[in-house]
Amino acid sequence: MAADDYKVEYHLTPNGWVPGTNWYFNRQQGDTKPRPNDTVETWLHHATQSSAYAKEEYVTWKKTWTNPDIDKEVIAGLHKKYPKSSIK
């Protein structure tokens, strides 16, 4: 059984990544956070680790929404400017 199992929504906006709703062992933590109006994409980050001392062993990113009104080149530029690795 995993020691940690969490999911966090992240919204890519023109100003960077904004955290959204999160879940711990599939139970929502706090209130649902609405998607910011200027979101261009929403992604779900899922990670587990087998113990508090282990590295994250299972990490996935899944795109769950894209604003159809935003040009793909604009989105690509935002990903270059704000890579997922910049999320803290």
Helices (H), 1-88: 72-81
* pLDDT for position 58: 82
Q: Are 61 and 84 in contact (CB under 8 A)?
A: yes
Domain ranges of the chain: 4-86
* pLDDT for position 28: 96
> With left for phi above 0 and alpha for psi between -120 and 50, is residue 62 left, alpha or beta?
beta
Under 8 Å CB-to-CB from 78, ≥6 apart: which residues? 12, 14, 40
For residue 52, what is the DSSP state? T
* pLDDT for position 49: 78
Per-residue pLDDT of the chain (88 residues; tens, 9 = 90+): 567 888 999 999 999 999 999 999 999 999 999 999 999 999 999 988 777 777 767 889 999 999 999 999 999 999 999 999 998 7
